[in-house]
Structure 1
Amino acid sequence: MRPDDWQLTEDVDDFLARTGDFLRSRPALHTLPLTVTETLRTRGADAYGGGAPVFGRLERAGEVRATFFRTPPHALSPTPLSPEDADTLAARLAGLGQLLPGVRADRDTATAFAEAWQRHTGAAPTLRERLRLYRLDTLTAPDPLPEGRARVAGEQDREQLMCWYREFAAAIGEVPSTDADSWAVERIAHKRVMFWESPDGTPVSMAGVTPMVAGQIRVAPVYTPAHLRGHGYAGAVTVEVSRAALAAGATEVVLFADLANATSNGLYRRIGYVPVADFAVYDFSHAGAEGG
């Protein structure tokens, strides 16, 4: 394989025309490229607030074997790669003068690319996060449920959603993909966030979902403020938003959990989610330059 076997484009429609069948062939594993490209297709290239997105595909014998996307300023996100393909991708992007801030992928791919990137650029990788991708099997509600009820967030909840979106991003150490106001407005408009509220009507936890693409919906984010945790609110609202995703026709409902958080991983297993794959996120440190 040669580095120039990777075909790059900034045109999301062209990318999807050439890779759509491949991405839809494994909708759970490919949840990130499916949902991100759908957002870019429907909302435009500036949906994630950075520079122009970049997409790539690797073909052999006329068939797509792997893809990647990147929405600056965020990390590179490839589909599963062999060590050899990870090396050719690193060589291709390094040859273009890219300064990647990091990589997010299934664990083996992320590790192989991080090592290849260091070989080609000298950038030192640091493992920042380990994640597990889960897929819903049989939904099982907590017993007993906490007091209260689930409801869809509405316009009256805009300030609450903005606040919790900022808190969630800060808690996981992520650069927000969009501003809090736009995030809240878009999710309210499409009814894609659900609250669990206490009997007096106070929101105590939230769970959102991505749009359905290729039959899959991803639950994200799930957030309960620190002082309200330990009461079962996250489990209750995740069950309700998962149930709503199934009712909307999703054939795959997936979510990511931080492997450092044993509580959330145990919770998702109890309510019916089963592991699909482990993911890793590496940050890259470029001496004398800013990653971007």
Structure 2
Amino acid sequence: MRTEITDDPEAFWSLAREFLFADPVLHGVLITNVDLRRSGAVTDPAPATYLAVRADSGAVVGAAMRTPPQAIWLSAMPTHAVEAATRALLDSCPDASGVTGVDPGAALFAKEWERRTGAVAHPRLRERIHRLDAVTPPRPVPGHWRPARPADRDLLIEWTGGFEVDAAVSPTAHPTSGETTEAAAEKERARYGVRVDLRVSEGRAWLWEDDGPASYVGATRRHGGIVRIAPVYTPRGRRGNGYASALVAAVSQAALDAGARACSLFTDLANPTSNKIYAAVGYRPVRDVTVYDFVPTGPRP
């Protein structure tokens, strides 16, 4: 096994594209995030790290990325490739806050990181990747769906923040040295704003309306025939009315009608409600993903 590391998304795309598109549902997060950086639609406050793992034959058998302050995102890969990936990423980004990936590879990576650093890898969140090939229409609910507009920007930024808190997939913004809490929060809001503006400008954000906005769904660009649905957010006062089910079904059907082969989304395994409602509109389990936090324990004796 050998590894190749770069901070250039274009170089990584050339290295790993064939591997990633062999399973665009499983590798959708890597594909969409690298695409956004290749196109210049998203920039990072610090250089990203991209990794490809090659077998002795030269074929890429694994990939990973880390965009500070996010955790490492690890693709599915053979177990014998995990040690090489861990070693390379520990050299390149020893301050990584954690790893997210498909098990058993993510679990092996976390264990190897523990062994090499003395940190504790805490499994914070378990998710499931789902795939939809055909929509099962949900029960009718009051209201209608519509594309989000620039005038919805402040609401969508607020709801994006609500989604990230509920989903618990991203680190909470903490002030850096010399930075106020308000400045850290504003920086986070600006990060949400970039994504909201892009989704709205490209027609990839929708609202369900019932006496005002009731639910929000976004989607990725189509890659390898797959559209990933995210985020999905309904504010607490509007939950339990079927708005998210109706909107996810409508957006998924629109993606299929526009040429997508399938749609995908992630659910929190600890939330039986979301797993149930997405299954009801046609989403089927693919693989499970675990989010590990690396918790330092001080220097090893």
1:207 equivalenced with 2:202 (yes/no): no
Instruction: Look up the match of 1:87.
Output: 83
Aligned AA (1:27): P
Runs of 4+ in 1 over 4 A off after TM superposition: none
Q: Where does 1:118-129 land on structure 2 (aligned, <5 Å)?
A: 118-129=114-125
| Gapped regions of structure 1 (runs ≥ 5) | none
- Of the structure 1 ranges 261-270 and 162-171, higher mean CA displacement relative to structure 2 is found in 162-171
Instruction: Look up the match of 2:35.
Output: 38
Note if contact 2:79-2:105 (Cα within 8 Å) is conserved in structure 1.
yes
> Is the partner of 1:51 in helix, strand or coil?
coil
Instruction: Look up the match of 2:49.
Output: 54
Instruction: Look up the match of 1:73.
Output: 69
Identify which of 194, 201, 224 aligns with 1:182: 194
Instruction: Look up the match of 2:281.
Output: 271
User: Relative to structure 1, is the Cα distance of residues 231 and 189 closer, same or farther in structure 2, using a 3 angstrom cutoff?
Assistant: same
Q: Offset at 1:170?
A: 2.1
Instruction: Look up the match of 1:258.
Output: 268
1:107 equivalenced with 2:117 (yes/no): no
Deviations 1:64-87 (A, max 9, x none): 111111111111112112333212
Note if contact 1:158-1:184 (Cα within 8 Å) is conserved in structure 2.
yes
Across the aligned residues of Structure 1 and Structure 2, the Cα RMSD in angstroms comes to 1.7
Note if contact 2:53-2:85 (Cα within 8 Å) is conserved in structure 1.
no
1:151 equivalenced with 2:151 (yes/no): no
> Is the partner of 2:199 in helix, strand or coil?
helix
1: CA distance, partners of 2:273 / 2:104: 25
Q: Where does 1:242-257 land on structure 2 (aligned, <5 Å)?
A: 242-257=252-267
| Gapped regions of structure 2 (runs ≥ 5) | 172-187
> Is the partner of 1:43 in helix, strand or coil?
coil
- Of the structure 1 ranges 161-170 and 149-158, higher mean CA displacement relative to structure 2 is found in 161-170
- Of the structure 1 ranges 85-94 and 124-133, higher mean CA displacement relative to structure 2 is found in 85-94
Instruction: Look up the match of 2:251.
Output: 241
Deviations 1:30-62 (A, max 9, x none): 111111111111126xx2543111111111212
User: Relative to structure 1, is the Cα distance of residues 8 and 177 closer, same or farther in structure 2, using a 3 angstrom cutoff?
Assistant: farther
1: CA distance, partners of 2:192 / 2:88: 35
The normalised TM-score by structure 1 is 0.91
Q: Offset at 1:113?
A: 0.5
Q: Percent identity?
A: 34
User: Relative to structure 1, is the Cα distance of residues 86 and 169 closer, same or farther in structure 2, using a 3 angstrom cutoff?
Assistant: same
> Is the partner of 1:69 in helix, strand or coil?
strand
> Is the partner of 1:217 in helix, strand or coil?
strand
Q: Offset at 1:114?
A: 0.4
Note if contact 1:124-1:284 (Cα within 8 Å) is conserved in structure 2.
yes
Instruction: Look up the match of 2:295.
Output: 285
Note if contact 1:124-1:285 (Cα within 8 Å) is conserved in structure 2.
yes
Aligned AA (1:243): Q
Aligned AA (2:116): H
Note if contact 2:62-2:78 (Cα within 8 Å) is conserved in structure 1.
no
1:28 equivalenced with 2:10 (yes/no): no
User: Relative to structure 1, is the Cα distance of residues 35 and 88 closer, same or farther in structure 2, using a 3 angstrom cutoff?
Assistant: same
Q: Offset at 1:182?
A: 1.9
Note if contact 2:61-2:78 (Cα within 8 Å) is conserved in structure 1.
no
